[in-house]
Amino acid sequence: MSVLDCSFTDIAEKEDYSFDNNNSIKKNIEKWDNSFKYSLNLFSDIDIAKNKVVNIRDKSIYNLDTLVFTFESNFNKNGGKVCFAQTTKDVNEIISKIIKERQIKSVVLSKSNLLEEISIRNFLKKKSVDYSNSDIGDFIVYSENNKPSHIVNSAIHHNLDEISQIFSANYGVDENANAQEIVKVASQKINENILGADAFITGANFLVADTGSIVFVENEGNILKSSLTAKTQIIIAGIDKVVSSLSDLNILLPMLSTHATGQNMTTYTDIVSGVDVESREEIYIIIVDNNRTNLLSDKTLRTALRCIHCGACANVCPIYKNIGGYAYNCTYPGPLGLIISPYIEKDEDNKHLPFVTTLCGKCREVCPAHININNLILHTRKDIIDNGLHTIEDEQFIKSLYKKTIKRRRMNRGSAGIKNWKLQRKLRKLWGSRRNLPKFAQTPFSVMYTENKERNNK
């Protein structure tokens, strides 16, 4: 079977996609959760595996200044062209030039968070270049003029019925179509788009410095198909995607696939190490900063660059599960976005993000790169306050809350013993006998806080 004959109907046929209509996010995450837990059996000790990821990612981050240029020189030797872009504007200028030189009229895009970050679709629209999506999740959400709601699974918020309706409205599929029928139609459309496109624009999972290779992981095979057929391929990747050697993938790939999709290995791992001059004319890579080096310069925040973009932190987040990805209104919904979006997507609207969390710590527990997401969220909050990015209303609200908390004179009156006795009498029945009632501390928090503050001011 040739690569072009591969389709993801095979995968759909083996799966049971018949979810209830409600709570699609929770149901889809439940499915991930079951596979994820099972897939972890791959590792004899998950903590050791995480430590290995930390070592590899830290080694890359701390040596980025040399690794990026090693990658550039090796990628050039392989026949590709490397461009560097400081900002989205620089990326747009580089792509504009390529579009003009190669007279590109249509492109096919892969699923990529960086492509979302730079709003590639808006840019292509302005340039009157037709675009289509090669990832089925993106294909679904863009068919309804929407955006991905998850960094791995773009259409995680939809159930089968909703997807059938989208396909019925856009492609004339029966409203009661089953998963196989939908996947077949999507597969045909995506194949047509891939074969008809002048260029392929994609993100990347890793850039390997010592061989100048680009690594893509996927389940549908469409990145591979597009890479093999497009005359011009443009890869756009963040500077943080560089790793030092192919051997780093031994642990990075299984850790990514288990945490992203609950698979021991994704169906396809494509490693592109050069240009086949007979079938392809050009391969470009644009390495983008977009404030990532600002994260790098901050000792605490730089650990966020260890991220391998698996999306597991969103899957375990109680807030994400309840509000879904669109409520965040940023490219990286979920705990990861709370840290990086205020820096990477320097949009006024993102400064509230670090405050949209309960700090329960589930994300920190699951993260394969041992990123202390809680600490980074607190750090980002402080940064936002220190830089005066909060509103006057926020400040007034916090001040009044502070005053009320500190002056709780009536609450502070009386001994802890009497307060606990009163609480028992009033709430014991309501609270039930199986749970312990919380207890008043001997010294109230507000008293301790005031005393501590006074001591520090002396």
340 forms part of the interface with ligand SF4 (CB under 6 A): no
Listed ranges 7-15, 125-133, 199-207, 308-316: which one lies at the site for ligand SF4 (CB under 6 A): 308-316
Q: Which of 173, 312, 317, 384 binds ligand SF4 (CB under 6 A)?
A: 312
Q: Which is nearer to ligand SF4, 54 or 323 (CB)?
A: 54
Q: Which of 83, 330, 336, 344 binds ligand SF4 (CB under 6 A)?
A: 336
337 forms part of the interface with ligand SF4 (CB under 6 A): no
- Specify the residue for token string 């809350």: 401
Q: Which of 310, 330, 344, 384 binds ligand SF4 (CB under 6 A)?
A: 310
Q: Which of 150, 157, 280, 309 binds ligand SF4 (CB under 6 A)?
A: 309
Q: Which of 98, 251, 296, 313 binds ligand SF4 (CB under 6 A)?
A: 313
Q: Which is nearer to ligand SF4, 8 or 320 (CB)?
A: 320
Closest distance of CB 353 from ligand SF4, Å? 14
Q: Which is nearer to ligand SF4, 136 or 363 (CB)?
A: 363
- List the x/- string, 251-290, binding to ligand SF4 by CB under 6 A: --------x-------------------------------
Q: Which is nearer to ligand SF4, 194 or 367 (CB)?
A: 367
Q: Which of residues 92-131 bind ligand SF4 (CB under 6 A)?
A: none
- List the x/- string, 356-395, binding to ligand SF4 by CB under 6 A: ----------xxxx-x------------------------
Closest distance of CB 340 from ligand SF4, Å? 9
308 forms part of the interface with ligand SF4 (CB under 6 A): yes
Closest distance of CB 405 from ligand SF4, Å? 32
311 forms part of the interface with ligand SF4 (CB under 6 A): yes
Q: Which is nearer to ligand SF4, 80 or 335 (CB)?
A: 335
In the complex, which residues of this chain contact ligand SF4 (CB under 6 A)?
Answer: 259, 307-313, 336, 366-369, 371
